[in-house]
Amino acid sequence: MMEAIAATAEPPGSMLCGVTAHPLFVDKATALQQLFGDREGGVRIVVLVGFDTWVRIVDPKYYAPGGLDAALRDIFRAVEVLVASRDPASASNLEPLRTEEQEALVLSLSDEVTGGRLHFLRNDPQVADLSSSAVRKAVAAGDGSSARAMLPDCLISFVEERGLYTS
């Protein structure tokens, strides 16, 4: 799917997508830095995540006891993180939080931990409720019109041809 989106990027070649088997975000960030960080002239690596994903990234249960701060420091040494607000109704793992509350939680991490490499994006309300979960639910329910409204054209055929999310 990511390749299909990257292939339609304008200008051509302006988007890079990849797949990783790393389960933890800190490992993904480190792998990106190792892959691109030593290029001549340097490469600015910015990872965009939704607020619902951010909640999982900072959940201590995914790290060794007492290891969250060290993992976060490793993340921010490797990449910048841009957290986009989400409509809590579209993400099942969120309690209802207004955009301002989401922003306050994200930006509550100290610059000592983030190195100033954590940013918050107030998502356009028209797209804030879009999510992979909503697409999967629409396709599974046979609601093709809703799924088509949420997906770019290049992914509609990809999902339909492979019968994704139908069972």
Structure confidence by residue, pLDDT tens digits, 97-127: 888 999 999 999 999 999 999 999 998 877 7
Does 86 share its domain with 152? no
Dihedrals φ, ψ of 119, to 5°? -130, 155
Domain-embedded: residue 5: no
Does 39 share its domain with 112? yes
Does 113 share its domain with 76? yes
Structure confidence by residue, pLDDT tens digits, 8-41: 767 776 666 666 778 888 888 888 888 776 666 6
Alpha-carbon span 91 to 76, nearest angstrom: 25
Does 27 share its domain with 102? yes
The CA distances from residue 86 to 14, 69, 112, 138, 162, in Å, are: 26, 24, 26, 18, 28
Helical pair 68-78 and 25-36, crossing angle rounded to 10 deg: 30
Nearest CA to 90 among 147, 142, 148, 135?
135
Residue 83 forms beta bridges with which residues?
Answer: 49, 120
Domain-embedded: residue 7: no
Does 30 share its domain with 59? yes
Does 102 share its domain with 135? no
Domain-embedded: residue 114: yes
Domain-embedded: residue 12: no
Q: Spell out the residues 6+ positions from residue 43 whose beta carbon is closer than 8 angstroms to its own.
A: 36, 37
Dihedrals φ, ψ of 82, to 5°? -110, 115
Does 108 share its domain with 138? no
Distance separating the N- and C-terminal Cα atoms of the chain: 19
Does 115 share its domain with 61? yes
Alpha-carbon span 151 to 146, nearest angstrom: 9
Per-residue buried b or exposed e for 110-148, using 16+ beta carbons within 10 Å of the residue's own CB: eeeebeebbebeebeeeebebbeebbebbbeeeeeeebb
Structure confidence by residue, pLDDT tens digits, 134-151: 888 888 898 888 888 888
Q: What is the pLDDT of residue 158?
A: 80
Does 61 share its domain with 136? no
Domain-embedded: residue 2: no
% residues pLDDT > 90 (the chain):
29
Alpha-carbon span 99 to 44, nearest angstrom: 27
Into how many domains does the chain fold? Answer: 2
Token pair for residue 131?
């999510």
37: containing domain = 23-126
